[in-house]
Amino acid sequence: MKQLWAPWRIDYILGPKPDVCVFCLPQDTAEDAERLVLYRGKNAFVIMNKYPYNNGHIMVCPYRHVMLLAALSRQEAHEVMDLLQACATILKEHFNCPGINIGLNQGEAAGAGIREHLHFHLVPRWNGDSSFMAVFDEVRTMPQHLSRSYAALLPFFAPQAMAARLAALADCVEQQRL
At residue 111, the pLDDT reads 83
26: pLDDT confidence band, cut at 50, 70 and 90?
very high
Q: Is 119 tagged catalytic?
A: yes
At residue 132, the pLDDT reads 43
DSSP notation for 86-117: HHHHHHHHHH--SEEEEEE--SGGGT-SSTTS
CATH of region 21-176, choose from 3.20.20.20, 3.30.420.40, 3.30.428.10, 3.40.50.1000: 3.30.428.10
Catalytic residue among 94, 117, 119, 145: 119
pLDDT digits (tens, 9 = 90+) for 67-118: 999 999 999 999 999 999 999 999 999 999 999 999 999 988 888 888 899 9
The whole-model pTM stands at 0.79
Do 86 and 78 meet the contact criterion of CB atoms below 8 Å apart? Answer: no
At residue 93, the pLDDT reads 93
Number of Cα atoms under 13 Å in the Cβ half of residue 148: 6
Closest of 56, 36, 57 to residue 45, by C-alpha: 36
pLDDT digits (tens, 9 = 90+) for 48-60: 998 888 889 999 9
58-62/120-125 β-pairing: antiparallel
Residues placed in the known binding site for substrate: 49, 121
At residue 54, the pLDDT reads 84
Instruction: Tell me how far apart the alpha carbons of residues 150 and 162 are, in angstroms, rounded to a whole number.
Output: 16
Number of neighbours of residue 101 by Cβ within 10 angstroms: 12
At residue 2, the pLDDT reads 52
Residues placed in the known binding site: 49, 121
- Is it the case that residue 170 has pLDDT exceeding 90? no
